[in-house]
Amino acid sequence: MDKISLVVPCYNEEETIRIFYNEVLKYESQLDAELEFCFVDDGSHDHTLDILKALHEEDERVHYVSFSRNFGKEAGLYAGLELATGDYVVTMDVDLQDPPHLLPEMYNIVKNEDYDCVATKRSTRKGEPPIRSFFARMFYKLINKMSSTEIVDGARDYRFMSRQMVDAIIKDQEYNRFSKGIFSWVGFKTKWLAYENVERSAGNTKWSFFSLFKYSIEGILAYSVVPLFISSILGLIFFVISVIALFGIVIRAMLFGDPVSGWPSMVSIMLLLGSMILLCLGIVGLYISKIYLETKKRQIYIVKEKA
């Protein structure tokens, strides 16, 4: 019999874990496979860990890793994938925004059709603040123009994967992790299912607008070097302009002398160039910071407890 591991990162989710667990078990009979729960307590400050411990006592199929502090969802997913022993692995959120009723269908597709992975995306952005969905759309347009790795708009981290694909993902030990990119980068045949956005079962989202913005910058830096290319092109354009201007000014000075004027234009040009230089330096700096973190070879997460 096949074994399916559910990888579930949890950060301050005391209200949702049991709801999630019970909901998944409702579909167990349709699965014709053994289940394994791999919860990751991402340094929660509430009773998340206590609930996981209690569940582990009640049900030996429940396993967990608990981090020494909050390492972020990406680290949680990675730890969960390492913990999972199943023939198939599913990554999903604990708040039931990734509906468990899709599990039997996903299992069927990966097992009987010629796919290694079933991925999900939301069919609409209904229920999301309009500003947020506007920026989300912009982000996906931008990153797909700039990167050869396809990042699907509205893709969720709810995925059903074969062991082969999971092993490939675990081998990718980069420190700056952007799952939506890694899943796509490793390749394999993926079928996409779309579903309506579901509200959180309980508790609150951990993403603020700012953290989403930072996350999108991470994504762009990790999967594209186009910003570096743009800064070089900008430099080149300004170089050509300045050479032309230089000739113009020298010739004009030789023909008409050198009347002292043009202070405003000079200041504008200096400001423009100064800001361009800072912008480009900043872009280069962002990539260097990523190299810096990557070369440190820091651990992606630190385990405090495991069962």
* Under rule CB under 5 A, residue 120 binds Mg ion: no
Stretches 54-62, 112-120, 160-168, 205-213: which one binds ligand UDP (CB under 6 A)? 205-213
Cβ burial of 154 (10 Å; 0-12, 13-18, 19+) is middle
d(CA 195, CA 102) in angstroms, rounded, equals 10
* Under rule CB under 6 A, residue 91 binds ligand UDP: no
Q: Min. distance of Cβ 21 from Mg ion in angstroms?
A: 16
Query: Which two tokens mark 51?
Result: 């609930």
* Under rule CB under 6 A, residue 13 binds ligand UDP: yes
* Under rule CB under 6 A, residue 100 binds ligand UDP: no
Interface residue with Mg ion among 14, 42, 95, 157 (CB under 5 A) is: 95
Between 72 and 219, name the residue whose CB sits nearer to ligand UDP: 72
Stretches 70-78, 111-119, 176-184, 215-223: which one binds ligand UDP (CB under 6 A)? 70-78
* Under rule CB under 5 A, residue 16 binds Mg ion: no
Query: Which two tokens mark 179?
Result: 């799952």
* Under rule CB under 6 A, residue 95 binds ligand UDP: yes
φ and ψ of 161, to 5 deg: -125, 155
φ and ψ of 98, to 5 deg: -110, 95
Q: Min. distance of Cβ 93 from Mg ion in angstroms?
A: 5
Q: Min. distance of Cβ 119 from Mg ion in angstroms?
A: 17
Report the half-sphere exposure of 156 (CA within 13 A, side-chain side).
Answer: 28
* Under rule CB under 5 A, residue 13 binds Mg ion: no
* Under rule CB under 6 A, residue 82 binds ligand UDP: no
d(CA 64, CA 79) in angstroms, rounded, equals 10
Measure the CA dihedral 144/187/292/217, to 10°: 30
Interface residue with Mg ion among 5, 16, 44, 97 (CB under 5 A) is: 97
Look at phi and psi of residue 15 and say left if phi exceeds 0, alpha if psi is from -120 to 50, else beta: alpha
State which amino acid sits at residue 96.
L
DSSP H helices, 95-147, are 103-112, 130-146
Which positions touch Mg ion (CB under 5 A)? 93, 95, 97
Which positions touch ligand UDP (CB under 6 A)? 9-11, 13, 42, 70, 72-73, 76, 93-95, 97, 205-207
